[in-house]
Amino acid sequence: KQEVTQIPAALSVPEGENLVLNCSFTDSAIYNLQWFRQDPGKGLTSLLLIQSSQREQTSGRLNASLDKSSGRSTLYIAASQPGDSATYLCAVKGGGNKLTFGTGTQLKVEL
Amino acid sequence: EAGVAQSPRYKIIEKRQSVAFWCNPISGHATLYWYQQILGQGPKLLIQFQNNGVVDDSQLPKDRFSAERLKGVDSTLKIQPAKLEDSAVYLCASSPPVLDEQFFGPGTRLTVL
């Protein structure tokens, strides 16, 4: 059974800092890995999707890497802003086209 | 394009009552998902439809939960009777035939008293 862990559970940083969120998964037989953002009271917004054959994806200030063999992914956020404050979730797609989510990292970027 | 629509946004009921949630996916998306997200946890898949057929309902508590997608478009998720532990956000998502990406609606926050 796939298990996804995200560390840290919560993170508070000053504005402008670069930061890294971590995601690990137990079963390396995945099709892709997706990073989502969730704002309070809102649904999930897809940030980046990395196929199993890819090593990384970039979108603006966000960069996600994937090391499938070691079961790890990182989300790098450059020059953090207060508007980046949200919960960040990673999810892996395994057999049966099923997404398994981590419990999320709650990020707060302070002025 | 319009996103995934869900209603209601909030619902408060007493235990043993019934409740229904509605989802309208993005036009042209054949696959529809219902997730349950308990506070402090990641979403957990309840059921996945491909058009109007069920692909995966292995984590759906079938003694009290049911879902349907009769015409392969809109879907409803029902809980009858509700329990306290059903308090959660119920998320609907859809994905197009080719892309792997799932697009989520705003969710319905259910509180069972």
Dihedral sign, CA of B4, A58, A87, B42?
positive
- A20-62 pLDDT, tens digit per residue, is 999 999 999 999 999 999 998 788 999 999 999 999 999 999 9
Mean residue pLDDT across chain A: 94
Q: What is the mean pLDDT of residues A80-101?
A: 91
Nearest to A35 by CA among B3, B95, B42, B86: B42
* Candidate from B43, B101, B106 with C-beta closest to A46: B101
SS3 A95: helix
Give contacts of A43 with chain B, Cβ < 8 Å: 4, 6, 91, 104-107
Whether the CB-CB separation of B108 and B7 falls below 8 Å is answered with: yes
Greatest alpha-carbon span in chain A:
44
Band (pLDDT 50/70/90 cuts) for residue A2 is: very high
Q: How far is A78 from chain B (nearest CA, A)?
A: 24
CA nearest A98 in B: which residue?
B45
CB contact under 8 A, A99 and B105: no
CA–CA gap between residue B63 and residue B80 (Å, rounded): 8
User: For B51-92, what is each residue's pLDDT tens digit?
Assistant: 889 999 999 999 999 999 988 899 999 999 999 999 999 999
pLDDT of residue B102: 87
pLDDT at A96 over 70: no
Collapsed DSSP state (helix, strand, coil) of residue A56? strand
Q: Which residue has the tokens 């989300």?
A: A75
Question: Which pLDDT does position B99 carry in this prediction?
Answer: 67
Within 10 A of A106 (CB to CB), how many other CB atoms are there?
Answer: 18
Residue A83 backbone phi and psi in degrees, to 5: -65, -10
Calpha distance B21→B7 (Å, rounded): 6
Which residues on neighbouring strands pair with residue B50, listed in sequence order?
Answer: B31, B53
Q: CA-CA-CA-CA torsion for B56, B37, A70, A106, nearest 10 degrees? A: 160
| Cβ neighbours of B105 in A, within 8 Å | 43
